[in-house]
Amino acid sequence: MSGRTQNGAARSGTAQNGTDRDGTATGGTTQIFFSATQYAAATVTAAIRAGLFGPRAAHRRILVVSNTAAVPEVGTPLDRMAGFEKLRPEFDEVRSWNEFISPHHPAGWSPRAQDALLWEKAVRLAWNLGDGPVEIACESIQANPSRAVAEIFADSPIHVYADGLMSYGPTRNRIPHGMSSRIARVLHLDLIPGLRPMLLSEYGVEPEPVPNEAIVDVLARIGEEGAGILADRIPAEGRPTAVLLGQYLSAIDLITQDEEEELHVRMLRAAARAGHRGVLFKPHPSAPAVYGRSLEEAAAELGVRLTVLNEPVLAETVFAHLQPELVIGCFSTALMTAAAFYGIPVARVGTGLLLERITPYENSNRVPLTIIDAALPDAEHATLGVPLELGSLSAGLGPLVRTVGYCMQSRKHPGLQAEAAAWLTAHLAEHPQYFKKRRLTSLRLPGGSPIRAESLRRHPAVRRAVRQIRARQS
């Protein structure tokens, strides 16, 4: 097996990993990249082009695409999407995980422990991997198909990459030691300079940013066809000056469909309040196309020229091509890419409602929601049109994010208890929306309810302990 870092995993482009330090191939390492979305594939391609996976000649590279939609058969596979040809040159081969494990669904299947070795042999045979060393680069290691792949290649180093704001939050599920010890790093987009991701940090995994210029260049290349679509759809003289970002909040049961439609109307009214008369609404590609006409009716009432973009165009292509003066959304990562990559002013709508509704407290969307609520101006009340001062955000966001992260996963981050208690003592009165009283009470943190002696006496665990003590004394 290849050499390991402090975390037990080999780093790409080193003598430990099948290459000399001068970049000469010595071991024929195969790097397998797993991607479920076009944006994920763009992120990992940017990391490759930035040199974060070693020299091109030193590795055989395979891109494995998967479709984790509820009904994958009706969707367009990643390798058949417009713009994929711009990513293809970085890889020697492209494989389909859906086809390989058919009829199983990628999101729900993982091998039985006793079958993992057989599956590894099957993959090596089907993809002509031989007996050489393999590295895995995948998205969320907490869920399938990434988890399944990590179990199959039980001796391979793992590189986790994250393309959104969730990387700043804590790991949702426990990772077995045999797997966590193989994770070399977390590659992430540096959307908030200076803010350190919490993802996998409890296992000692270090974060490593993908350079912004690399991801912007990749997005520009794969967005060339989308730019053509925009040029055909939207005349140069009638370009919208504001962009509204839809998500799929009702589809994941955070709010109802009616409430999500009302959220879009609130975004439109906020844009109109800021003086914009040409507005583009971009639904999320995963959102069901079942919305009513409330947005169009509100646009007519406000005298706003509304364009609904249903074509498969990346949000970043919209930002680069239309160069809007304002982007409004709820808590989409695209709000931060608009600010970080293109310098466009951004604003939020509806985060207060979502902070009330989101459950359980450990929900991985909580940290992205917290970041957007804390960092962006309220589109319905604040003065809009001023770009974010990204360089100064991390100083205030860091302690807040770590405090929320501790409350979400206190057992994984016990070292943050003192900082969380100090932050809550100083700032809870100003920012109560990020915390639940019951959670603060259970963690014995400032802002929680006092524990009454009577309720403690009635607690089953306390009563059992008292009985055990009395039994030993008798």
The string of pLDDT tens digits covering residues 424-439 is: 999 999 999 999 999 9
Structure-model confidence comparison of residues 471 and 266, the more confident one: 266
- The pLDDT value given to residue 454: 53
DSSP string, 38-67: HHHHHHHHHHHHTTTT--GGG-EEEEEE--
The answer to whether 15-219 and 232-388 have equal CATH topology is yes
Largest Cα–Cα distance in the chain?
Answer: 90
pTM: 0.87
Does residue 456 register a pLDDT over 70? no
- The pLDDT value given to residue 430: 96
Give the strand order in the sheet containing 183-189.
93-96, 60-65, 30-35, 134-138, 158-162, 183-189, 206-210
Tokens encoding 171: 């790991």
Does residue 22 register a pLDDT over 70? no
pLDDT in tens, 271-290: 999 999 999 999 987 676 66
Q: How far apart are CA 201 and CA 394, in angstroms?
A: 18
Percent of the chain with pLDDT over 70: 91
Place of tokens 């099948």: 18
Q: How far apart are CA 447 and CA 440, in angstroms?
A: 6
Count of beta carbons in the 10 Å neighbourhood of residue 306 = 18
pLDDT in tens, 181-209: 999 999 999 999 999 999 999 999 999 99
**CATH for 15-219, among 3.40.630, 3.30.70, 3.40.50, 3.30.1300?**
3.40.50
Does residue 217 register a pLDDT over 90? yes
- The pLDDT value given to residue 63: 97
Q: Where are the domains of the chain?
A: 15-219, 232-388
- The pLDDT value given to residue 54: 94
Structure-model confidence comparison of residues 140 and 61, the more confident one: 61
126-140, 223-237, 368-382: least confident range: 223-237
Structure-model confidence comparison of residues 10 and 462, the more confident one: 462
Q: Which amino acid is at 368?
A: P
DSSP 327: E
- The pLDDT value given to residue 142: 87
DSSP 346: E
Average pLDDT estimate for 45-72: 92
pLDDT in tens, 386-404: 999 999 999 999 999 999 9
> Which residues are CB-neighbours of 446 under 8 A, at least 6 positions away?
421, 424, 425, 428, 440
Average pLDDT estimate for 110-119: 95
> What pLDDT band is residue 141 in, cutting at 50, 70 and 90?
very high
Does residue 251 register a pLDDT over 70? yes
> Which residues are CB-neighbours of 180 under 8 A, at least 6 positions away?
200, 203, 205
> What pLDDT band is residue 466 in, cutting at 50, 70 and 90?
confident
Q: Which amino acid is at 420?
A: A
Structure-model confidence comparison of residues 88 and 465, the more confident one: 88
- The pLDDT value given to residue 276: 97
Topology at the third CATH level for domain 232-388: Rossmann fold (3.40.50)
Average pLDDT estimate for 367-382: 98
